[in-house]
Amino acid sequence: MRAAAASCRACDLYKSATQTVFGEGAEHARVMFVGEQPGDREDREGKPFVGPAGRVLDDALEAAGIDRSQVYITNAVKHFKWKPQGKRRLHQKPNAAEIDACRPWLDAEIAAVKPEILVLLGATAAQALLGRDFRVTLQRGQSIERPGLPLMLATVHPSSILRAPDNQTRELAMRAFVQDLTRVAQRLRR
Ligand code: URA
């Protein structure tokens, strides 16, 4: 699947991205994390969540007692979408058509790994699996059941914690994120 996804042309994002960033992790992980799309670092390295957002995710996983090597981590969209801003590549949100075009890869990953729990990190992942009307702010941390899908839990995207305007807000946001992941850890222990 990874090899097939490397030459995916289902939308135009491949044209400006370095490479397809496929999910990776434990083959039969009990929990799968779904982010939005690779960032600048991920695009260069070809691995999900290895940049600044990945560090926040790593810290939160550790605080919640979840071993990263035991989970599977992927993104709703597997190419980096960006626009130039000076010398930087500025992240751009994938649109509904790009999310839809990438959905077969996500479905295939879910079918292959068969996780018990899907953790949706932020609005794009939630939109990909639960539709555009789902609001992470209203339903974060709750168990969500949908036919044909593993049990889901939506929470914020780790980048949102990096964007907090001050230390105190960032600490509170991190605490709430860890609390959501702790719920996942508790479920895994059952
Ligand atoms: N943000 C994401 O949603 N995914 C990554 O892989 C990196 C940053």
Query: Look-up: residue for tokens 């490397």?
Result: 6
Residue 190 has pLDDT above 90, yes or no: no
Atom number, ligand 1, closest to the C-alpha of residue 49: 6
Q: Is the pTM of this model over 0.75?
A: yes
Q: Mutation test of ligand 1: which of 159, 160, 163, 177 has the most ligand atoms closer than 8 Å to its C-beta?
A: 159
pLDDT in tens, 136-157: 999 999 999 999 999 999 999 9
Q: CA 97, CA 111: separation in Å to the nearest integer?
A: 22
Average pLDDT over residues 115-119: 98
pLDDT in tens, 39-66: 999 999 999 999 999 999 999 999 999 9
Q: CA 124, CA 121: separation in Å to the nearest integer?
A: 8
Average pLDDT over residues 122-146: 96
Contact predicate 36/117, CB 8 Å: no
Name all residues whose Cβ lies below 6 A of ligand 1.
35-39, 42, 48-49, 51, 53-54, 75, 159
Q: Mutation test of ligand 1: which of 75, 77, 78 has the most ligand atoms closer than 8 Å to its C-beta?
A: 75
> Residue 181 Cα, ligand 1 centroid: separation in angstroms?
17
Q: CA 169, CA 94: separation in Å to the nearest integer?
A: 27
Tell me the domains of the chain and their CATH numbers.
2-189 (3.40.470.10)
Q: CA 71, CA 28: separation in Å to the nearest integer?
A: 8
Query: Which pLDDT belongs to residue 75?
Result: 98
Atom number, ligand 1, closest to the C-alpha of residue 158: 1
- Cα→Cα distances 112→99, 102, 139, 187, Å: 20, 16, 27, 21
pLDDT > 70: what percent of the chain?
A: 100
